[in-house]
Amino acid sequence: MRASRLLMPVVVALAILPQAASANLLAHRAVYDLDLGDATEKSGVVGVAGRIVYEFKGSSCEGYSTNYRFVSQMTLQEAEKMNDYQITTFEDGDGKAFNFVTKFFVDDQLDKETKGSAQIVGEGLDVKLQKPSAESIELPKTQFPTQHMIELIDKAKAGENFYETTIFDGSDDANKVMTTTVIIGKKTKSSETDPEYAALKSLKDESYWPVSIAYFDLSKQDGEEVPDYSISFKLYDNGFTRDLVMSYGDFSIKAKLVGLDVIDQKQTCPAAK
């Protein structure tokens, strides 16, 4: 299960925007409760419970940091398994450098740790890994999560409905660039019958775009262009996301917003002249 990528691009998707872009990103801490969405018998998954806690803060002058934890209790047909993903990232304000640490625990035991940095150099991407072992990797030039979100918000504001791009987020073995296809729906507002309405607080009257993103590893030589996973969510023009559905083919996980705290941070960027 590749849950480690889920909010990074929305991240996650989830959301980072430099000063040059057309909106300001919301520094915030969001909490989401997990539940099982659809599941086939082949998946072996009969239940999911857990929580996502996502924190974003920073500025285009100092860079942007995210802390993300995804804990899920998976009930399988013959067993139960506790997965715990812990992700910390930092991206500089102009989207040229990216640091990442990902830890994955299974039943409270560390199963995998990936730590490294990536930098755009010329027409390529230079990845330096420290864990699980020291390694240098050269990849095609791409975007980090910050720039991926900038592009998404800008295209949504321009009224575009579909586009394709690429991203590197440091997930899995941090050795590949993923291709993404993005579908953007019509901007709308929440109603009082929305299950997440009470948790929105000051954002209750703000509009959002419904967004779906599919992620492909085109380096695979299997001849099939089937997404590794896909996500859908509601996106606000300040980068906040909610009502997440994460699909892994044979099953999906729903993440419902249950808590939102806006982080009060000082403006460190010089005022525009």
How many whole angstroms separate alpha carbon 236 and alpha carbon 152? Answer: 11
> Within a domain: residue 180?
yes
Q: What is the pLDDT of residue 3?
A: 35
Confidence of residue 20 (pLDDT cuts 50, 70, 90): very low
CB 97 within 8 A of CB 119: yes
> Within a domain: residue 228?
yes
Per-residue tokens: 213: 């993103």
Beta carbons within 10 angstroms of residue 256's beta carbon: 16
Per-residue tokens: 155: 């295209």
> Within a domain: residue 119?
no
- Please give the backbone phi and psi of residue 12, each rounded to the nearest 5 degrees, phi first: -75, 150
Confidence of residue 267 (pLDDT cuts 50, 70, 90): low
Q: What is the pLDDT of residue 241?
A: 93
> Within a domain: residue 212?
yes
Cis peptide before 132 (omega within 30 of 0): yes
State how many domains the chain has. 1
The better pLDDT of the pair 13, 178 is held by 178
How many whole angstroms separate alpha carbon 18 and alpha carbon 33? Answer: 29
How many whole angstroms separate alpha carbon 244 and alpha carbon 207? Answer: 16
pLDDT of 16 over the 50 cut:
no
**pLDDT tens, residue by residue, 181-230:** 999 999 999 999 999 999 999 999 999 999 999 999 877 766 567 888 99
The percent of residues in the chain predicted with pLDDT above 90, rounded, is 67
Q: What is the pLDDT of residue 222?
A: 61
How many whole angstroms separate alpha carbon 273 and alpha carbon 271? Answer: 6
Strands 45-59 and 207-216 come out as unpaired
Confidence of residue 77 (pLDDT cuts 50, 70, 90): confident
> Within a domain: residue 160?
yes
CB 166 within 8 A of CB 142: yes
CB 14 within 8 A of CB 6: no
In this structure, of 2-6, 76-80, 91-95, 178-182, the range with the lowest mean pLDDT score is: 2-6
Q: Which residues contact 192 (CB under 8 A, 6 or more apart)?
A: none
How many whole angstroms separate alpha carbon 99 and alpha carbon 225? Answer: 29
How many whole angstroms separate alpha carbon 51 and alpha carbon 31? Answer: 7
> Within a domain: residue 69?
yes
> Within a domain: residue 70?
yes
Domain that holds residue 219: 3-111+142-262
pLDDT of 14 over the 70 cut:
no
